[in-house]
Structure formats: C-alpha cells, structure tokens
Amino acid sequence: MRTLIDFDDAPVIAVPTAAGPRYAVLVEGPQGWGEFSPPPDADDALAARWLTAAMEPSTVGWPDAVRGRVPVDDGARRLSVAAGDVDAAVARIGDLRAGAIEVVLLECRDPVDARSVRHRVDVPIAVDAALLLADPQCADIAILRCGPSGGVRRAMRRAERLDLPALVDFTGTTSIGLAADVALAAALPQLPFACGPVPGWLAEADVVSEARSLIPRDGHLPAAPMPAGPDPVRLQRFAVTDAETVAHWRGLLRRAAAML
C-alpha cells in the first residue's frame, strides 16, 4: 500500500510552539491523510514506526470505536516528572501530592528507576508501555502513545500484553495526527483515565478547518473513523519553504518508508 502514497511531494509543515517549531509531514494515502511527526532526533527505525501510524488511517483504517467521544485532561490532575534522579523525582511528587494529583507520568529510560520511585510514593505511577514490557512491575499504569508505537493497532496490542490500566498520551502535532490519538482512546476496551492534554498551540496553529479542529468541548473530543484533510489556506500558512529543511524531512520519510 505504501506504493500508493506520494512521499516525494508530501507537504512539510512547521507549527510554531513556545518551545520552537514542531515539524510534520502530511501523507495522503488511498483513503485520506495521516501525519508523520517523529522527534527531530529520531533514527530511521523510530521514524518507520511513526510512518506506520501515519499510513494506518488511509490504508487499513483504525479499529472500531467502542465510545463516540473521549475525555480530555487539562493537566490539572496529572503530573509529568523526569526521573533522571530518583530522589529528586520522589521529592517533587511529594511536594505536589497535596494538590490532588491523580497520576504521575514518569519519564525515564530505566525500569529500575521507575520501580524505585513507585515504591517510595503513594500516588499511581504511569510509564511508557515499552518500559513496562521490560519490567511489568515498574509502574501501575501503561502510557500508550500512538505515534511512537506504530499506530492504533500496535498500541492496543501492547496494552493487551500488559493487562494494566492504560492512559493515552497525545502525540499529534495537528488535528490530523491528534485524530489517531483519539482513535486509540476510543477503541480501548477500558478507558479509566482522561487523555491528552491537547497541545496548547492547536487553537492558533492547525492545518484543518476551524470546524474540524480537535479543540475539546465540555472536556471531550469526538472520535472519527478518519482524520480531517488539511485546509488549503491553512496548509499554505504553515508550509515549509526552506529547501534544506524540506529535503531533510522528505529524506527521513523515504528512509522510513524503505524499512516498511
């Protein structure tokens, strides 16, 4: 199916954020659009997983939803903590525990560190599902991320293997990518936690029409069988014109495609 996607002319976009531009390549397949937006330092293997996620909606489609909309967290009840230093992470969690934090999203590379933090705090710890596959006892909750997992189906398979409560963390840069995150949350058999949060820049910097932009209403986002396509005017506004940057992202895209 990848032969039906035009990688050479796929538009490269840059969305302004407080931390600098977020880049993405929008890929159009036989049935619609997807978003390829791996981190800038992604190697080809990680980029290939992001491309699989981008191609999924327009080729095989997403699994059927079991709910028509998903709850979205505004960040008030969750805390993101980096666990580069276990003692510092434990202290930060302890300082903010009185604020009724529902769950801590722990960013770390070593399951041993995650396990150490978990045993020293009294709030549920969530880590990326890949870390839990290495040590199923290192956290209480699996964080599912559609893009780096390789799409909705692969993320769901990770959740099934772990058999733990799951939390969906949004990885999309635009509403095209965000629709995949919502599709994952909508298809999970159980959704005990709100998802998100929606990127703060989305209200001012999206490539789909205003009517299709995934801005939460009443604390929820609607699930859809396909992402919206880009609005031509908005797409032009965020299109990258620098030849070197375009070449870099299309090169990464082609290398990722070659690995599929």
Domain-by-domain residue ranges, the chain?
2-258
Q: What is the DSSP letter of 203?
A: T
- Report the b/e string of 192-208 with b at 16+ CB within 10 A: ebbbbebbebbeebbbb
| Average pLDDT rounded to a whole number, residues 87-93 | 90
Average pLDDT of the chain is 93
In this prediction, residue 174 carries a pLDDT of 98
Peptide bond before residue 197 is cis, with ω within 30 degrees of 0: yes
Provide the whole-model pTM. 0.94
Does the pLDDT of residue 119 top 90, yes or no? yes
Of 183 and 98, more confident = 183
Are 7 and 48 spatial neighbours (Cβ–Cβ below 8 Å)?
no
For residue 215, pLDDT beyond 90 = yes
pLDDT in tens, 218-253: 999 999 999 999 999 999 999 999 999 999 999 999
Using CB atoms within 10 A of its CB, is residue 120 exposed (0-12), middle (13-18) or buried (19+)?
A: middle
Comparing C-alpha atoms, which of 57, 7, 15, 48 is closest to residue 239?
Answer: 15
Cβ(238)–Cβ(14) below 8 Å: yes
CB atoms within 10 A of CB 238: 23
> Which among 217, 216, 146 has a CA at the least distance from the CA of 184?
146
So what's the pLDDT on residue 97? 59
**CA angle (35 as vertex; 30, 212 as ends), nearest 5:** 85
Mean pLDDT value of segment 166-173: 96
The distance from CA 175 to its chain's CA centroid, rounded to whole angstroms, is 11
CATH of 2-258, one of 3.20.20.120, 3.40.50.300, 3.20.20.10, 1.10.3720.10: 3.20.20.120
